[in-house]
Amino acid sequence: MRVRHSFLEASARERIHSLLDPHSFKEFCPPSERLVSPHLAQLSLSQAFDDGIVTGAGMLSGQKVLIAAQEGRFNGGSVGEIHGAKLVGLLHAAILQKPSAVLLMIDSGGVRLHEANAGIIAISEISRAILDVRAEGIPVLVMLGGSCGAFGGMGIVVRLCHTVFMSEEGRLSLSGPEVIETVMGRDEFDSKDRALVWRVTGGKLRRALGEADKLVDDDLTAFRDAASDWLKQHIKSGAAPLSYNDLCQRQDALLARCLEFTNTKDGREILAKRLSLNEPQWTIANAEEFEKSLKRADAQHTNKPLDTWKEGLQALNEEDQAFADRLFGAGQHQLQYNGYFVVGKAQTQRGPVHVIGTRDRAPIGVGVALKLSGAVLTAISEDQKTASTLPIILISETQGQLLSRHDELLGLNGTLAHVALCVDLARRSGHRLLTLVRQEAVSGGFLSFGMLGDRICALPDSQVRVMDLRAMARVTKIPLERLEGLAKRSAVFAPGAENYVLLGGVHEQWTNKQDWTEALASALDHCSAVDERSVLGAERGGRHLAASTAQRVKQQAIAFA
Amino acid sequence: MEHLNFQLHSTPALQVKKLSADVLCGIVSSGNLEILVEPVSSDSTVSAETCLITIDTAAEGFSETWQAVLTQFAERHAVGGLSFTLNDVGATPAVVALRMAQAYEEWCAAMGAN
Amino acid sequence: MISRSERLAKIAYFRDGRHIPSNRMVEALNALIQPGDRVCVEGNNQKQADWLAECLAKTDPEVVRNLHLVQSVLALPEHLDIIERGQVDRLDFSFSGPQAGRLARLLEKGTIQLGAIHTYLELFARYFVDLTPQIALVAAQMADREGNLYTGPNTEDTPAIVEATAFKQGIVIAQVNEIVDVLPRVDIPASWVHCVAQAPRPHHVEPLFTRDPALITEVQVLMAMIAIKGLYAEYGITRLNHGIGFDTAAIELLLPTYAASLGLKGKICTHWALNPHPTLIPAIEAGFVESVHCFGSEVGMEDYVAAHPDIFFLGEDGSLRSNRAFCQAAGHYACDLFIGSTLQIDLQGNSSTATKGRITGFGGAPNMGADARGRRHASPAWLRAGAESRAEGGMPRGRKLIAQTVETFKEQMQPTFVERLDAWDLAESAGLDLPPVMIYGDDLTHLITEDGIAHLSRCHNAADREQAIRGVAGFTPVGLNRDKRAVENLRDRGIIQRPEDLGISLRDANRDWLAARSIKDLVKASGGLYQPPSQFRNW
């Protein structure tokens, strides 16, 4: 009997060593440098010498690659300031060095709540950096099969990458089943029903749905073989950045999927349609048998035009009208809305702009997300026709992602990643992107849209957060009083737009005394396509370590090369 | 969190070829710990027959047990001149002893490989 | 003394053949049970006559009173309800599991008299001597119109209880899940059964023997390696019984990998007295196992067992026939090794699972974990163990190998090794005749911890024995107080073996050796025949 080395059970380091050619791995910022999280120490919590992520360079089948692996068993692989910055630094090194590929072994529940603000900004910086790497034609492969899977912001990050390999033990989604159960009740999602959890988020379901590109057995050797084959193929064919046409096709395919599985809440229905194997055959099928049993997706096209998002639009209500008047001046805008979605054009002191966004503290589900991405793609194509690239104002007003088993099943994380890819294409096409945070902007709903702006402005009295302190106390089991006390001294985890300003995650917060049309013009002047948030965070004193840590990884990568 | 320091007598470790050599073993998770093995820095005054052990542990009040576990470890292995730094989240002595031995074996293997 | 026919006459007006309507069961019990009767409510550690227990708890306390409960397991709240309602005077039992705390409180209050805490086999034996039930309430899967019973894979204690009751003027009452025209096979003939009723829901069966391989630790793998190399291979153990737990599950999962790599296939672990543990599937598939006789069944293993008539004991219908009494006898007399785990071990090697405020009882472990003094047939392992422990010039005889495998500390840093067992305090507070010891030190031949293996059978005096125990007790106070020189001397004599003495590298002690790492792996290994209950599934 051959001894199988489980990917699931291996540590981050073991995964890297088994994947790369023997003795080829060079770690950047290794444990001996003791880059530990000061934020965990402040809460008297255990630290890890690598802050839960291993970054470095090595060879895969003789080709140079940059690689990172998250340690899912340290604080759930969660992303904090240093953890995130190490990955950002590695991705920036990739842009300079142009390795054959970047390999990411994601194993993470998302943002580390103990340093939530720094964590979500870091995930946003990771997202931007991955998009930059892909724009250079460098393929990014995600391998997913750890105990934490990829949830929260990391679920979105995974789908920004070129290729995703998953084991059936792996999970990929946005909100965790426990969160959905806590907020929406057990009828919506029974997180104790392990079978159901995997049928909604697990590797086999994701592969059948097309959210993963290959199912791999839970075996380190199988992952190495798959990665090696993939790399050989990409050295031949290259990895062209996503084009407008690619994203339009993807937009239509995602819409088609929503129409195909309108009311589905259990992966059984999807698996039954996509596989030639029946239950329970598919449950025990190995990766090879499962791949063989995959049928081509039934519906990939809607035969509808790109701008179906225009359906049902109506004139703004009084409150929104007043808001738009203040922003652009009365009579200077033609905005419309439909439910949570708001869209249109407006005049600014710097000329015409597109306006795309959400309203009414939108919970962002698959439906709203596809309207946003559709509107962005339409704006790009309209401007192409007139040879212009008008700025896009991204109005971000969201209570976070929609907590719904149906939306998770359909890959809300992947849909939000699609929104991010569309927004990023707009930037690369020459559109300036200005984000305005209205009322509140929370976690997943903010991450894939508003946080991608060139410049992020928070309107007066608006709120930015990952989670409120009460919920944070419940999840982290740290007494609320302790968190409240610490929140007075630290900007790193507590809700508040002012904290995000200090950390560099929000560029500026407007006041009620300001003339917003002037503020808007000034902000448009200061839009920069380069992500400078970590530098800003260091300058403002809210985030001391992100920029220097990323820089340190990058320098070690350069020195090693 | 409790911080503990031990200086233990041991046989000198095999000659370190590369001063930058270090090994990390284990994971910081409940009932587990990570161990960083490094050569004692060359400007340190401790002898080649001393092993330095530094611990941050989430389980407070077990310094005597730590002393016993680590003394036996230093007696059974040639770890003089090495420094072990531990981040512990309540591992039992069985797990600590296993992890220490694994860390030492991995360090020896790394020395051979380098 | 009222005769059986006199009792049955009282319910003749609604008894139809051997069948009685479910809604008249409480009425039947009120009529059939006499004050002072010995009553056995079948409760095995898996199958439970749970509906009949509920009915008993609804009887009239004025009529059904002064009972003497004689049953192997007190696992259901209803069993204790009957006591709390004042219907019971006296109790003889084996195991109380989940009700251990409540039972201890009732005994302390003096609500009932405790006869004794038995092993299963002991209690069954007394059914045929002085504790014969007048009333037995049993559970079966099916009955036919005649009243024949099909107990199916979970036959367990039923034959022993019914035989004792039916042939001594007692009344056997069976709850069944369904009534059919033709049974798959007859496990209990109708003439031994006096009342049959269909229960409103199937009887409860607990998946007690399922251990998820995902939860097995590296330390448990290390101890399994020590057991296989230092004990199984050393003595060539072919016939054995395993206790329940992750420690022994790890051994089962290392057979097709680690043991096979040592060339031990066919040389060890061929014949078992064991429930159908899901973790045994890989070893069976690898051809390690020739025969398994079972005490009971295990939820989800029915189809897998049915597909292996060459290994398990099956009826003509193809389903498992288990029998706790026979399997206990088999474990006691026909096995060369018992290995299990425990909560506490003292300096003499006595072990106990007793903790203050809980009376858990024994179950079957003391019969498995005791030398069979009546055994006369020889085997190489038995002879070797006997020879090792014999004083010079003594009469040659064999000895059963009895091993405990424990980590030196439990969770929350509770030491397994203690100077004094909590069993002493429990005996005092509950007024027991004896401290409840699971396995006596003089029966124990081997002790395995993460520190190594102690061959206690090779110790010929009390001092050596104590130091051998201290020598593998790790960093517990008992371990720290060892005589270091004496322990090194024992190591030189091969009485204590460290992992490195056995050629086991700690670096090798990892989960990669597990032939299955998850319940899913077990399902795959079984070719899809094993159907684990939902709490163990992630698909």
| Residues β-bridged to residue A362 | A398
Nearest alpha-carbon partner for A446 in A500, A381, A375:
A500
Within this chain, do residues C378 and C434 fall inside the same structural domain, yes or no? yes
Give chain A's radius of gyration (CA, Å): 22
For the stretch A417-455, what's the b/e string if a residue is b when 16 or more beta carbons lie within 10 angstroms of its beta carbon? bbbbbbbbbbbeeebbbbbbbbbbbbbbbbbbbbbbbbb
Distance between CA atoms of residues B88 and C35, nearest Å: 62
In A23-135 the beta strands, taken as DSSP E runs, fall at: 26-28, 53-60, 63-70, 101-105
Q: Residue B30 belongs to what domain range? A: 2-113
Phi-psi region of C195 (alpha: psi -120 to 50; beta: other; left: phi over 0): beta
- Which residue among B72, B92, B105 places its CB closest to the CB of C505? B105
Q: What is the pLDDT of residues A480-499, one digit of tens each?
A: 999 999 999 899 999 999 99
Q: CB contact, 8 Å: A44 with chain B?
A: yes
Q: What is the pLDDT of residues C165-224, one digit of tens each?
A: 999 999 999 999 999 999 999 999 999 999 999 999 999 888 889 999 999 999 999 999
CB atoms within 10 A of CB B102: 21
How would you classify the pairing of strands C38-41 and C135-143? parallel
Q: What is the pLDDT of residues A398-422, one digit of tens each?
A: 999 999 999 999 999 999 999 999 9
| Residues β-bridged to residue C360 | none
> Would you call A1 and C286 a contact, using CB atoms and an 8 Å cutoff?
yes
Domain boundary among C198, C221, C245: C198
Report residue B16's pLDDT band, with 50, 70 and 90 as the boundaries.
low
What residues of chain A lie within 8 A of the CB of C518, using their CB? Answer: 169
Distance between CA atoms of residues B54 and A156, nearest Å: 39
- Which residue among A30, A32, A47 places its CB closest to the CB of B87? A47
> Would you call A1 and C512 a contact, using CB atoms and an 8 Å cutoff?
no
> Would you call A47 and B28 a contact, using CB atoms and an 8 Å cutoff?
yes
What residues of chain A lie within 8 A of the CB of B36, using their CB? Answer: 31-32, 49
What residues of chain B lie within 8 A of the CB of C218, using their CB? Answer: 95, 98
Within this chain, do residues C274 and C379 fall inside the same structural domain, yes or no? yes
What residues of chain B lie within 8 A of the CB of C450, using their CB? Answer: 94, 97-98
The burial of A59, by beta-carbon neighbours within 10 Å (0-12 exposed, 13-18 middle, 19 or more buried), is given as middle
**C7 in a domain, yes or no?**
no
Within this chain, do residues C334 and C413 fall inside the same structural domain, yes or no? yes
Within this chain, do residues C190 and C252 fall inside the same structural domain, yes or no? no
- In degrees and rounded to multiples of 5, residue A240 shows phi and psi of -65, 145
Distance between CA atoms of residues A343 and C75, nearest Å: 65
CB atoms within 10 A of CB A259: 10
Average pLDDT over residues C381-404: 95
Contact C254, C515 (CB under 8 A): yes
Distance between CA atoms of residues C538 and A284, nearest Å: 12
- Which residue among B27, B36, B56 places its CB closest to the CB of A74? B27
Within this chain, do residues C244 and C151 fall inside the same structural domain, yes or no? no
Residue type, C360: T
List Cα–Cα distances, C85 to A37, C55, C90, C94, C428, in angstroms.
Answer: 60, 13, 13, 22, 26
Pick among C507, C508, C512 to test the B interface (most B CBs inside 10 A): C507
For the stretch C225-234, what's the b/e string if a residue is b when 16 or more beta carbons lie within 10 angstroms of its beta carbon? bbbbbbbbbb
What residues of chain A lie within 8 A of the CB of C523, using their CB? Answer: 283-284
Report residue B92's pLDDT band, with 50, 70 and 90 as the boundaries.
very high
- Which residue among A11, A23, A49 places its CB closest to the CB of B87? A49
pLDDT surpassing 60 at residue C416: yes
Q: What is the pLDDT of residues C452-508, one digit of tens each?
A: 999 999 999 999 999 999 999 999 999 999 999 999 999 999 999 999 999 998 878
Say whether A317 sits in a helix, a strand or coil. coil
Average pLDDT over residues C295-307: 97
Report residue A69's pLDDT band, with 50, 70 and 90 as the boundaries.
very high
> Would you call B24 and A44 a contact, using CB atoms and an 8 Å cutoff?
no
Q: Residue C385 belongs to what domain range? A: 213-513
Q: What is the pLDDT of residues C120-166, one digit of tens each?
A: 999 999 999 999 999 999 999 999 999 999 999 999 999 999 999 99
Domain boundary among C148, C167, C198: C198
Which tokens sit at A133?
A: 């790497």
**C322 in a domain, yes or no?**
yes
CATH number of the domain residue C94 falls in: 3.40.1080.10
Q: What is the ipTM of this complex?
A: 0.94
Residue type, A449: F
pLDDT surpassing 60 at residue B17: no
Within this chain, do residues C181 and C323 fall inside the same structural domain, yes or no? no
List Cα–Cα distances, C185 to C157, C182, C199, C317, in angstroms.
Answer: 17, 8, 20, 6
What residues of chain A lie within 8 A of the CB of B60, using their CB? Answer: none
Report the interhelical angle of A412-428 vs A153-160 (nearest 10°): 60
Residues 6+ apart with CB under 8 A from C345: C351, C404, C406, C416, C417, C418, C447, C469
**C4 in a domain, yes or no?**
no
Q: What is the pLDDT of residue B113?
A: 55
Q: What is the pLDDT of residue C98?
A: 86
Residue type, A406: H
Nearest alpha-carbon partner for A171 in A134, A133, A201:
A201
Total tally of structural domains belonging to chain C: 2
Q: What is the pLDDT of residue A167?
A: 97
Q: What is the pLDDT of residue B19?
A: 52
How wide is the angle at C-alpha B29 spanned by C-alphas B24 and B30, nearest 5°? Answer: 140
Q: What is the pLDDT of residue B43?
A: 75
Q: No. of H helices and E strands in chain C? A: 21, 18
> Would you call B56 and A46 a contact, using CB atoms and an 8 Å cutoff?
yes
Mean residue pLDDT of chain A comes to: 95
Chain position carrying tokens 């990998």: C257
CA C363 to chain CA centroid, Å, is: 5
Among the residue ranges A525-534, B1-10, C143-152, C527-536, the one predicted with the least confidence is C527-536
Which tokens sit at A489?
A: 């001294």
Pick among A5, A9, A286 to test the C interface (most C CBs inside 10 A): A9
- In degrees and rounded to multiples of 5, residue C59 shows phi and psi of -70, 170
Q: What is the pLDDT of residues A292-333, one digit of tens each?
A: 999 987 667 888 999 999 999 999 999 999 999 999 999 999
How would you classify the pairing of strands A53-60 and A63-70? antiparallel
Mean residue pLDDT of chain B comes to: 90
CA C364 to chain CA centroid, Å, is: 4
Contact B104, B80 (CB under 8 A): no
Report residue A2's pLDDT band, with 50, 70 and 90 as the boundaries.
low
Q: CB contact, 8 Å: C530 with chain A?
A: no
| Residues β-bridged to residue C191 | none
pLDDT surpassing 80 at residue C226: yes
Phi-psi region of A171 (alpha: psi -120 to 50; beta: other; left: phi over 0): beta
SS3 content of chain C, % helix, strand, coil (to 5): 35, 20, 45
- Which residue among B68, B94, B106 places its CB closest to the CB of C409? B94
> Would you call B24 and A49 a contact, using CB atoms and an 8 Å cutoff?
yes
> Would you call A74 and B28 a contact, using CB atoms and an 8 Å cutoff?
yes
Say whether C524 sits in a helix, a strand or coil. helix
Contact A456, A506 (CB under 8 A): yes
Average pLDDT over residues A532-559: 96
Report residue B20's pLDDT band, with 50, 70 and 90 as the boundaries.
low
Residue type, A247: L
pLDDT surpassing 90 at residue C97: no
Q: What is the pLDDT of residue C77?
A: 92
pTM here? 0.89
DSSP 8-state code for residue A31: G
Nearest alpha-carbon partner for A448 in A540, A335, A358:
A358
What residues of chain A lie within 8 A of the CB of B88, using their CB? Answer: 46
> Would you call A31 and B22 a contact, using CB atoms and an 8 Å cutoff?
yes
Q: CB contact, 8 Å: C265 with chain A?
A: no
Total tally of structural domains belonging to chain B: 1
Percent of chain C beyond pLDDT 90? 88
Residue type, C175: Q
pLDDT surpassing 80 at residue C272: yes
How wide is the angle at C-alpha B96 spanned by C-alphas B88 and C215, nearest 5°? Answer: 90
CA atoms within 13 A of residue A472's CA, in its CB half-sphere: 22
What residues of chain B lie within 8 A of the CB of A11, using their CB? Answer: 27
Within this chain, do residues C220 and C194 fall inside the same structural domain, yes or no? no
Cα dihedral C122, C123, C128, C134 in deg (nearest 10): 180
Distance between CA atoms of residues A402 and A175, nearest Å: 9
Phi-psi region of C341 (alpha: psi -120 to 50; beta: other; left: phi over 0): beta
Contact A107, A489 (CB under 8 A): no
Structural domains in chain A plus CATH codes: 12-172+212-234 (3.90.226.10), 306-542 (3.90.226.10)
Report residue C110's pLDDT band, with 50, 70 and 90 as the boundaries.
confident
Among the residue ranges A65-69, A295-299, A533-537, C405-409, the one predicted with the least confidence is A295-299
How would you classify the pairing of strands C401-405 and C446-449? parallel
Q: What is the pLDDT of residue A259?
A: 94
Report residue A80's pLDDT band, with 50, 70 and 90 as the boundaries.
very high
Within this chain, do residues C277 and C380 fall inside the same structural domain, yes or no? yes
Average pLDDT over residues C401-417: 93
Q: What is the pLDDT of residue A298?
A: 66
DSSP sequence for C12-26? TTT-BTTB--GGGHH
Closest chain A C-alpha to B23 CA, distance in angstroms: 8
Say whether C67 sits in a helix, a strand or coil. strand
How would you classify the pairing of strands A351-358 and A392-401? parallel
CA A412 to chain CA centroid, Å, is: 11
